[in-house]
Every structure is written in C-alpha cells, then in structure tokens.
Structure 1
C-alpha cells in the first residue's frame, strides 16, 4: 500500500507528526471505517486515512485547498499526461489571454515574466477537458508558486527578499531561481506518484466547518491556531493568492488595493479566526459531532487554553484523553520551543 505522504509547504502542516497522531488513535482501539477531516488544509490527515483503507472525506472552506483534496484524496486512479502538462505550459497564439496576475500583482510576489506565465498557465488549466487533470495541474501550480516565495506565504510584499543581491540566512536561492516550467513539471510528476486507489469512495468538498453537511465515524478537527498573545496572521492572508488563482475570472473584484500585497478578500471569514469568538465556534462544532469519535489537534498557549478545551468536551457530554505529541519542529515556526502539540481523543459519554 502507498505510504509516502505528499510534501506540504503550508504553515501548521501535520505531515511530520501524522504517524504519531495515527498511533495514538490506534492505541485507543477505536472502531471506525470512515473519517471526516473538517479543516482539510494540506490533506495530510485524509491522505493518511486513505492509506489506512478508510473512506476518507475531506472538507475545507477554501476552493484551492478543495482542489488539492479532489486531486489527492477523491481521485483514486487518474494521472495527468505529458501532453496535458505541455499544453498547460504552452502559450496558444490563437487564444485571447487575460493578464490579471501581471496587472494586479506586479512587483509583489514574482518577476514580470513569471506573472505572465502564471496567467497563461491558469487559463490553460481551465481549458483541460478532464477535471482530475485540472485538479492535479492546480496542485502542481500551487506548489510551484509556494516554493518560489520567501517563507512560502503571500501575506507580505517581499519580492525583494528574493531579488536582492545579498548573503542570505534563510530561504533557498537555488530553488527560487529555478524556472516555473521546471518546477511545474516536477510537481506534476510528484502528484502522479501520490495517486493510488484504496477502493473506497473518498470525497473532497468545499464548505466552512460549521456549515459542513458531511459526517463520518471519526471527525478530525485541526482548527486555525489563535495565539493567546501577539498578533494573529490568519490562514487566508497567508494563502489568498492561491485562492485568487482558482477564482481567476472574478478575483479582481475582491482585491484590497490599500494593502501593499493587494490581498484578495475572497473567502475571508472570522469563523475560527477571531480571538473573541473562536471558543464559541469550537464549542458549536464539537456539539455538532458529539455523537461521533472526535480527534482534535491542538497546541498550547492558544485560545482556548488546553484546560478550557477539555471543559468544552465535558460540557458537550464527551469524555476525552489528552495526548502530548513530543515534537516542535514546525514548518515556518521552528524557533518557539515552548509550543507543544496536543491531541484530544474524545468519545460520547455512555
């Protein structure tokens, strides 16, 4: 059975600890045949569930993430072809291209010729006939865009960090200077290697957590982390550019030109992102699924606190075991040694 987890470049990815998470789940001898990953994100949990032969259901509020879920979780057999890959990368002289990325994000994230190529690629992806080929191509484009960005995010206008001729203590100059074409080909090949059939009807759907209509035997919850101190950079702000790519024809109507990075407001929400309401949001979600097994990934020094989160489970008639996962090596956050990863494994009280 396939056991290589897709490489992710997202803040808060659980890829490095997913095997530990699964070991804790197995240690509880829980009976479940299906899973719902309600903050699907990188798809790491759903992909692991798929590896383990479960019927994996993925859900996420963002369209770009949902397409990743469709490419790697819902898709059991389809792979993108060399012909399709070449089509995406080739400018069609008979097609009337738009250049929204080049116009709106000039000198913000990428060089001008890169912006123009991204414009062409997105429109060519949307012209592919097979939907799963589109999803895989988008996955490869997302990974390409991320790896060419300082810190793999889009919440700052900082192209200069890549272009300045200075000695660097961070980032990967060699990767930054690889062509978009070469990186896209690499990630298409990589994506194809992740496709496998677990002979289950896995799904990927776009929905906010509180409005999700899907269910399963086990609900995995990995909500946005809201620190008890300091500023909070929400997930949307980090990855709004990718959401713009998958809403190419309409995103220009949602650009905040008052921000230096021209943040695209599509999909922006306070659900699970506000310090004042996140505890109530979490309580509502746990209440919604309190007759299921809930596995809840969390970190200390957040809102709510570990103790407060435990009380939320108790108030919703659930008993839970709290496990400490002893790792702190986080993508994009390797310096804060005080942060600990916790896992709540909850079941309905008998």
Structure 2
C-alpha cells in the first residue's frame, strides 16, 4: 500500500493520530473478520477514511449535517471537482442577487472579524445555490475546516474573538494560524482534497441519522461516542453549532438561543449520548440494534460513565466476547495537560460470526 495520507482535522476527539493502532488491534490482535463497517458517530471521518483506504465498504453516519457533508466528501465521493480559483470566486457578490447578512448581524464580535463575517455570509449563500453536489461538498468542506482553524480551541462553545485578537505569547494557541485568511487556508484544503479523494472500488455512502435511529448494518460497527469529564457540561452540539448553522443558513434567525453568550444555534440539538445520566441506557439501546455485528467502542479512561461501567454493560450481552485494550496516553488537541488520560478500545467479538 502507498504511503497513507489522512485528511487533517481540528475536530475534538478525532482518532486521526491513533487510527493505525486501532486498526492493528482489530485486524491482528483481535483478528476480526469484516468486509463492511458502519461508523455510527462519523465525526471527522478518520476511522471511516482509514477503512476506505483498506478497501472496506464504508457506511459513514453522523447526526450533524455538517459532518454528513464531510463524510459525503471523503467517503462517498471519490473526486474533487473544485478548483482554487472557483473557490475564491465564491466570495464575490453576484450582480442582481440580494444577499442576507445573518452572520454579520447576529455574530458580530463573537467568533470572527467583521470582514470575515461578511465573507462567510456571501460565500455560504453562493455555495448553497450551487447545482453541482461534488463542488458544493468540497466548497463546504474547505469552509468548515478553515473556520475551525481560525478559532481558539477550534470550537464554538465560547464567545472569545477577543482571545484571538489580543493573544500575544504563551503556551496556548497559534495566532499565526488564526490570522491566516480564508483564501490562504482554502489553498491548503483544496490541495488536500486533491490528494485524499480516492476511489477504493466499493460503493461507500454517507448518512445523516441519529445514532439510535440509524437503520444501517455492517460486519463491524464502530462507536466513538461523546465522552464527558466530571467538570465538563459542554455538549458536542454547543462545540460545533456554528458549522451546523452554516449548512442551514436560511434557518439561523429562528434557531438562535440568545440566552447563551455563544448564541448557540439549536438546529439538530439532541439529547442522545449528550446526557451523562442516560449514557449507558443509550449505549445499551445502540448495541441492541447491532447484535449481529462485531462492535468496537472507543472511549477514555477518565470519562463518565466509567470504563468499568461500560465493561460490565458489554459483558451482559451473551453474543459477544469482550476484549479491552489500552492504547496508552493520547491527548486530544488543546487538552494536553492530562497526563493520566488514556485511550481505551473495547472489542466486542461476535461469537456467532
């Protein structure tokens, strides 16, 4: 196999840096036999994309529409038809078109500068008007990735533009990256798409269901759910609501929570796997939906519920041989002071397959 090139991402919890370890456990240590995979919480698509590279049939799924578009670009589509010149032209106002200014109006001084807000307003409306799905997905993909790179923490859970603008020196952040223009970042991500959009000879698809309502099945079901720390009350939706809002641009004004400083856009907010107290019940339901598959779960040793609680739940299913693997210390981006945090992989090997 040629050198593996994985798409870059600033997505919180992405398994990009350890997906090779996960794959080695599945195919060598656990010796799982599978030809198709369902990635229920697709997210950045790192696991789905790695599976695609290894010639598996891949079903990517995510409840968020912006992630669904990422999955469609990297997993379902096999080419990139968007050129850099065409991408930059999408910042230009088309004569005769009356543009809305929802980002400039509602998100002034929250995430991006006035100039950047105006760029986003024009760009997203031009992109949503495109007829070519391949070009549209590429144009949205590079916007999502660029917006993430220009944000402190790469998230949208805080109103903190002032942090970016006033940051000087210190251990946190990369001001040089934050201040790169959309045009400069677009060049990077267009070049990346040209490299990573590949055809593995299989029919791979992207889907936009909630985890518990996903009707798809596969030989192996990969579950990388949200995980919670004791001190955290921030939902995944709150971290990425702005990108979800961009996909639903024309519905933004009717779905803003003005009681929150970050003006969270409530579109596609869900309680599934976002409630610590009901997490195990959700997981039990999800596993029950896939009792004919091998099931693999990525988790953290400091999450809530505990590793022991999840292990006991998995052991209650008689169709599985439950194997637990410690992948060692692995710190997510911007979460580097947690020296005792370790990545754990549960492999539920279906004894009937």
User: Distance between the aligned counterparts of 1:165 and 1:244, measured in 2?
Assistant: 27
What is residue 275 of structure 1 aligned with on the other side?
276
User: Distance between the aligned counterparts of 2:52 and 2:160, measured in 1?
Assistant: 38
User: Distance between the aligned counterparts of 1:300 and 1:93, measured in 2?
Assistant: 55
What is residue 121 of structure 2 aligned with on the other side?
119
Question: How many residues get paired?
Answer: 349
Contact 2:329 2:341 in 1 (8 A): no
What is residue 94 of structure 1 aligned with on the other side?
96
What is residue 130 of structure 1 aligned with on the other side?
132
What is residue 54 of structure 1 aligned with on the other side?
56
Contact 2:294 2:350 in 1 (8 A): yes
User: Distance between the aligned counterparts of 1:304 and 1:82, measured in 2?
Assistant: 45
Q: Provide the TM-score with structure 1 as the length reference.
A: 0.96
SS at match of 1:167: coil
CA drift of 1:83 comes to: 4.8
Contact 1:283 1:312 in 2 (8 A): yes
Contact 1:79 1:195 in 2 (8 A): no
What is residue 257 of structure 1 aligned with on the other side?
258
Q: Show CA shifts across 1:258-304 (max 9, x none).
A: 11111111111111011110010011111111221111101112222
What is residue 344 of structure 1 aligned with on the other side?
346
User: Distance between the aligned counterparts of 1:56 and 1:79, measured in 2?
Assistant: 22
What is residue 165 of structure 2 aligned with on the other side?
163
User: Distance between the aligned counterparts of 2:280 and 2:167, measured in 1?
Assistant: 46
What stretches of structure 1 of length at least 5 have no aligned partner?
none
Say which of 33, 44, 49 aligns to 1:42.
44
What is residue 248 of structure 2 aligned with on the other side?
247
What is residue 183 of structure 1 aligned with on the other side?
185
What is residue 326 of structure 1 aligned with on the other side?
328
Q: Provide the TM-score with structure 2 as the length reference.
A: 0.95
CA drift of 1:82 comes to: 4.0
User: Distance between the aligned counterparts of 1:232 and 1:5, measured in 2?
Assistant: 31
Distance 1:119 1:72, change over 3 A: same
Distance 1:230 1:198, change over 3 A: same
Contact 1:84 1:128 in 2 (8 A): no
Contact 2:242 2:264 in 1 (8 A): yes
User: Distance between the aligned counterparts of 2:191 and 2:122, measured in 1?
Assistant: 20
User: Distance between the aligned counterparts of 1:52 and 1:200, measured in 2?
Assistant: 11
Q: Show CA shifts across 1:1-55 (max 9, x none).
A: 5620111101111011000000000112221110000000000000000000000
What is residue 210 of structure 1 aligned with on the other side?
212
What is residue 81 of structure 2 aligned with on the other side?
79
**Runs (4+) off by over 6 Å:** none
Contact 1:324 1:342 in 2 (8 A): yes
What is residue 225 of structure 1 aligned with on the other side?
227
CA drift of 1:171 comes to: 1.4
Distance 1:230 1:82, change over 3 A: closer
CA drift of 1:339 comes to: 1.3
SS at match of 2:37: strand
User: Distance between the aligned counterparts of 2:233 and 2:351, measured in 1?
Assistant: 35
Q: Show CA shifts across 1:170-224 (max 9, x none).
A: 2112122221122123212222221010010000000100000111110000000
Greater shift, 81-90 or 202-211, is seen at 81-90
